[in-house]
Structure 1
């Protein structure tokens, strides 16, 4: 990613203010720039005993505007699952879009690792470090 793009996304932060993870509802409530945005996951189907949920990108696009990437919907699905696993207290403050973007760089995605760090309380802002 170029320096200007990196600088801009490193200045975009969001907070997770609430979430719901039940058999019927999957929802992450995010606060950014004084806007509350609900990011829902939709149930797709049960396959071999596993539930499949997808996170449509409309709300994620609303959150990040021109800096939206299609993979960010997947990140919020992973984050929601990790928050449920860790019974994460909310709010979770100051999550940097730059860190989310960097989780998708390189040959191996680190989105699940980042989601787990955020949910478990071990996330620290990287500010461009890899």
Structure 2
């Protein structure tokens, strides 16, 4: 029993840390999707960027530790597509930064591309 309990606790911590990582990664992907979907209706590049940033902020507002300083939004356009790339830096006091279980380093990045409507 003395050997099983530490192993069980380490396994439990791993499940919790990676569960939170996948939750945040999914939220960042969904924020990129929401930003690209919302930005498609903008009239020009500046309007699309503002719409995308507001949509990303609205989507990420439910993530623990979210602040506008912790995320970056990049909107790029080609003649036929619009891409929104989102990067989210997990706060240092987050459960993801646990020293008991190694977690992926660096910010969580995701992007979404939508085709622009054809005239």
TM-score scaled to structure 1, two decimals? 0.34
The structure whose residues are more often strand, as a share, is 1
TM-score scaled to structure 2, two decimals? 0.36
Between 1 and 2, higher relative CO (CA 8 Å, sep ≥ 6) is seen in 2
Q: Which has the larger radius of gyration?
A: 2
